Structure 1
Amino acid sequence: MQLTWNQQVVKRNNKSLVLQMIKEQTPLSRAEISQRTGLNKSTVSSLVTELLDDELVYETGPGESSGGRRPVMLLFNHIAGYSIGIDIGVNYLLGILTDLQGKIISEKNIPLHELDYKKVMNQVNQMITHLIDMAPTSRYGVVGIGIGVPGIVDEKGEILLAPNLGWKDTLIKEELEETFQLPVIIENEANAGAYGEMRFGAGQLFENITYISASIGIGVGFILKSELYRGKNGFSGESGHMMIDMNGRKCSCGRNGCWEAYASEHALLNEAKQLLKVDLTLEQLIDEGKKANPEVIALFKRVGQYLGIGITNLVNTLNPQQVIIGNRMSMAKEYLQETVNYTILEQSLPFHHKNLSIQFSELTIYSAALGVSAFVVENFFITEELVEQT
C-alpha cells in the first residue's frame, strides 16, 4: 500500500520516537514502549520490526514478567555505525572515532606547529583517513564527520572568521564532503563543547549551562533549557572578546583588553615566558606546579582570577544553573579552581551565585570532539531513510 506524504511523516516521527526511547531507556519491552509513548501495540510491533531489520536495535533475553509471559527486551545497537569528531585547536588537533552512543573507540592527538590552512587541512585529512581505517565493520560504517573550530561559523558550515587560527571565509565543509563523500558538520568548538558536556559530561543533570572553552583563546557555549543556544545568526558565544580593560593588552582580534588576552592559555604562556625567561607548555607549567614552584603557582592564581572575573560577568548576565570550565585549561584545575571559585563568589551578585554549580570539565580536552560527533549521529538519524516508501 502506498503511503500518503502525511502518513509517511507520521510513521517517520513515530519510528524516531521509538528508536530514541530505546536508545535512552534501554532495555525496554514492546509493551513498555507502547505504554510510555501512547502508541498502540500493533504500531509499536511494526516499527520495532523495521528497526530490527535496520539493525538499529536488537533483542535480548526475556525481562521480568508482570503476570503473563516474560517479555523480550530491546536494546539499542550502538555499534551499527560510527562517527568521527575532530577538534581543531590553535596548538593541537584532536580526532576521535565514537560509536553511536558516544563511546570513544579510537583517538589521535597531535600538536599543531603551523596554522597555514592548507597544511592544517592536510593533517585533518590524514587524521580522518586514519580514523575511518580504525572503524570496525558495521551495517552503516562511518556515518559522518564533525569538525569543531575556534571561530565564527555560519549555518552553511563556512568558517567566517577564526582569528586565533588566522583563517577567514574557508569552505571546509565542501572540501571535506567532496574528499570523503560523507556528511560533514562544522560547528564552533565552544558550542560543541557545551553540547558534549550536556550529553556526556558534567552537565548531564542541568538544563541551563554556561560552558567556558579555555585554551589558546576563550569561547563560550550556552545551553538554555537543554537546548544549544546559537543566537540569531549562529554567532553567539564570542565572549572571549568581551572587553575587561579598554586600555589593556592587544588581542588577536585586533582590539584591546579582551578577556582572552588575560585568562587564556595564550595569556598564561606569555606571562610565564616573561616571568621564567623560557618557553614552556601548559603541561610543563602544570609539572612546575606539582614541584611547588611558587612563581608558577602565583601565576596560575593570577590567571585564575581573570578567568573568574569574566565568568562573573556571564553569571551576572545569564544567571545559569551551572558553569563548566573546559578545554585545555581544565587540566590545570588543581591550580585554578580555588581562585576561580573565590572570585566568582566574591564578585557576582549574591542572588546569581546562590545554588550555582561551578565545575571543571569531566571530559577535559574531549568535550568539543564528543559534541560534534554527537551532532553527526543525530544528523544520521534525521537524514537516514528509515521509513519504507511502500
Structure 2
Amino acid sequence: MVTGDASYIKKINRSFLISKIIEHGFISRAELSKITGLNKATISVQVADLLNEELIIETQQEHNNLGRRPIMLSLNRKAGYALGIDLDYKHITFTLSDLLGSPLSTEIVDLNTSDYDEILELLVKYIKDFQDKCTDSRYGIVGIVIGVHGTVTEDEVIKFVPRHNWHNKDLKSDIEAKAGISPYIKNNANLCAFAEQVYKHHHSENLLCVSLYSGIGLGIMINGELYEGYHGFAGEMGHMIIVPNGRPCNCGNKGCWEQYSSESTFFKQLSEKQNIDDIDYTDIQKRLNDKDSTFSEEMEEFINYLSIGLNNIINLHNPATIVLNSELLKMNEGALDEIKGNLTSSVSSFEELLISDFGKEATVMGACSLAIKNFLNIPELKLSIDDQDLPKLTVDVPV
C-alpha cells in the first residue's frame, strides 16, 4: 500500500490517470474509476484540474441508444509540442510532434562541419525557430531531447562523439545559456529502444534495440525503463571485440563488432572489392534483385558476424524482444530467417527477433516520446502511430 502526504498521493494519482487516458485514447470518468480503483470523487477532482490546465479535453460520444451520451476524456494533443533532434554526422534532423507523439513537421539540415561552436549555433537557431512556431499553444515546446551518436554521461554531458571527435562537451548547458531552454541529451541507440517500446512493443518490458548504421549501438529497456549503466555508457556493444587482433577501430581497439556488422563497414568493404565509389541503397536493391555474387558473399559475411554479436548480447541480457534497426536487413527479405538460423544455441533465449519499422526515424521518435513522458511526469507511456504518419527521412549511405 502506498502511503504519504496528501499532495504526494494526489501527484501519484494524477500521473496514473494521465497514463490511462493516453493508453485508452477516449475514456469516461466511470471507466477510469473502474480500471484505476480510484473513487469517483477523486476522479472528479483530478479531471477538473486537468481540464483547467487544458491537458485533457471532453468529447460527447456519438451513440444510437436512448439516454445521455457519455462524455469521454482524451489528452489534448494540441496543448503543447515536443521537439526531437537527431544530431548525426552528416546532418541534423528536427522533428516536432504533438503530445500524442504524432510528427507534425520534420526538417533535415546538412552538416559540412564538425566544429562544435558552429553546430551549437545551428542547433540554437532552429530551436528558437521552433519555439516561435509554437507560441500559440498553451505550453509551447514542452521538452527537447537531443540524440547523440556517442557516449553521454549520467549528467547528460557528451563524453565522446567519434565522428565529430568531440570530447567532454556540455551541450545541455550551452543550449540553455543561449536558448533559455534546457534539453535532455541522450545516446541515440537508447532513444531508438525507447521508441520501439513506447510505440510498437507495449507488451515487452525487456527489449533490446540494435542500430546498425554508422556504427553499432545498443539500446536497453529493462522492466520498462532505459538502462544506461553506472556512468551512462551501457550499450556500447559496437566495441565488443569479436575478432581478436582484427580490423582497427577508432575507439583504439582491434576487431570490434561494428568493424564487421555496421552498414558503414558493409558499404566500405563492398566499394573496395568492387572498386566503385558512392554505392547507395538503390545500388544495393539492384544487386539484391540481380542476385549479384559479390554482394551475396558480403551480405553472408555481414549476417554471420552480426549473428555472432547477437548471440553474445542475447546470452548477456536474456531479452524478450530484439529489434534490429537496419535498412540493409529491411531490404533483404531473407536476412531475418538467416539470422534466426544462426542463433541455434540451446543456451540463448529470447521471445522475438524482428526488424524495426522506424529505420532512421527511430531516434527522433524516441526523442519526442521521451520529452512527452518527462513533461507529463508519468510512469509509463503507450502511444500508437501508423507507419504512413512517420516522417519519411532519406537514408544516406552510412559512411
The match for 1:104 is: 103
CA distance in 2, matches of 1:333, 1:66: 48
Alpha carbons of structure 1 residues 122 and 198: separation in structure 2 relative to 1, 3 Å: same
Q: Partner of 1:334 in structure 2?
A: 331
Q: How much does 1:130 deviate?
A: 4.3
Alpha-carbon distance change, 318 to 80 in structure 1, aligned in 2, over 3 angstroms? same
Would you say the 8 A contact 1:108–1:127 is kept in 2? no
TM-score by length of 1: 0.88
Q: Which runs of 5+ in 2 are unaligned?
A: 379-399
Report the alpha carbon displacement of residue 93 of structure 1 after superposing the two structures with TM. 2.0
Cα gap change, 1:135 to 1:285, in 2 (>3 Å) = farther
Higher RCO (C-alpha under 8 Å, 6+ residues apart)? 2
Map of 1:156 onto structure 2? 155
Shift of 1:56: 0.7
Offset from partner CA, 1:334-363 (integer Å, 9 cap, x none): 23x63454244324413535x632211111
Identity %: 32
Q: Hey, what's the Cα distance between the residues in 1 that align with 2:231 and 2:10?
A: 32
CA deviation digits over 1:31-81, x for unaligned, max 9? 111222222212211111111111111111147699974431111111110
Residues 63, 15 of structure 1: alpha-carbon distance in 2 compared, 3 angstrom cutoff: farther
**3-state SS of the aligned residue for 1:196?**
helix
The code of the aligned residue for 2:330 comes to K
Equivalent position of 1:171 in the other structure: 170
Q: Give the equivalent residue in structure 1 for 2:90.
A: 91
* Aligned equivalents of 1:99, 1:382: Cα separation in 2: 16
Deviations 1:225-247 (A, max 9, x none): 22222223322100000000121
Partner AA of 1:157 in structure 2 = E
- Distance in 1, Cα, partners of 2:206 & 2:234: 15
1:79–1:281 CA distance, 2 compared to 1 (3 A): farther
Over 3 Å counting, the alpha-carbon distance change for 1:79 and 1:320 in structure 2 is: same
Match of residue 216 from structure 2: 218
Q: Give distance in 1, aligned partners of 2:91 and 2:295.
A: 23
Shift of 1:128: 2.8
Q: Which moved more, 1:14-23 or 1:244-253?
A: 14-23
Q: Give the Cα–Cα distance (whole angstroms) in 1 for the partners of residues 160 and 70 of structure 2.
A: 55
After superposition, what is the alpha-carbon deviation per residue over 1:65-104, rounded to whole angstroms, capped at 9, x for unaligned? 9997443111111111001001112233222101111100
Distance 1:236 1:359 in 2: 22
1:1-390 aligned within 5 A: 6-62=5-61, 69-135=68-134, 137-201=136-200, 203-289=201-287, 292=290, 294=292, 295-326=294-325, 329-330=326-327, 332-335=329-332, 338-339=334-335, 341-353=337-349, 356-382=351-377
Does the 8 Å CA contact 1:316/1:349 hold for their aligned counterparts?
Answer: no
Contact 2:311 2:348 in 1 (8 A): no
Q: CA deviation at 1:372?
A: 1.7
C-alpha distance in 1 between matches for 2:7 and 2:58: 26
Q: Mark the runs of 5 or more structure 1 residues left unpaired by the alignment.
A: 384-390
Supply the AA of the counterpart residue of 1:165.
H
Q: Deviation per CA, 1:231-272, whole angstroms, max 9, x where unpaired?
A: 233221000000001210011101100000111122112212
The CA distance in 2 between the partners of 1:324 and 1:82, in whole Å, is 28
Q: Which moved more, 1:63-72 or 1:362-371?
A: 63-72
Alpha-carbon distance in structure 1 between the residues aligned to 2:321 and 2:76 = 32
The answer to which of 120-129 and 368-377 deviates more is 120-129
The answer to which of 49-58 and 18-27 deviates more is: 18-27
Q: CA separation in 1, counterparts of 2:203 and 2:65?
A: 31
Q: How far is the alpha carbon of 1:207 from its aligned partner?
A: 2.3
- The residue type equivalent to 1:366 in the other structure is E
Deviates more, 1:11-20 or 1:213-222: 11-20
CA pair 197-171 structure 1, distance change in 2 beyond 3 A: same
Say which is worse superposed, 62-71 or 239-248, in terms of deviation: 62-71
Distance 1:64 1:84, change over 3 A: same
Contact 1:78 1:100 in 2 (8 A): yes
Aligned to 2:382: none
| Cα distance change on mapping 1:298 and 1:316 into 2, 3 Å | same
* Contact residue 305 and residue 340 of structure 1 kept, 8 A: no
Contact residue 309 and residue 344 of structure 1 kept, 8 A: no
Deviation, 1:172, is 0.4
1:143–1:183 Cα contact (<8 Å) kept: no
Distance 1:180 1:331, change over 3 A: farther
Q: Residues 298, 285 of structure 1: CA spacing in aligned structure 2 closer, same or farther, 3 A cutoff? A: farther
CA RMSD of aligned residues (A): 2.5
SS in 2 for 1:352: coil
SS state of the match for residue 32, structure 2? helix
Q: Which stretch has the larger CA shift, 97-106 or 133-142? A: 133-142
1:300 shift after superposition: 2.9
Which letter maps to 1:358? L
> Which stretch shifts more, 291-300 or 365-374?
291-300
Report the TM-score when normalising by structure 2: 0.86
Counterpart-to-counterpart distance in 2, 1:114 and 1:284: 27
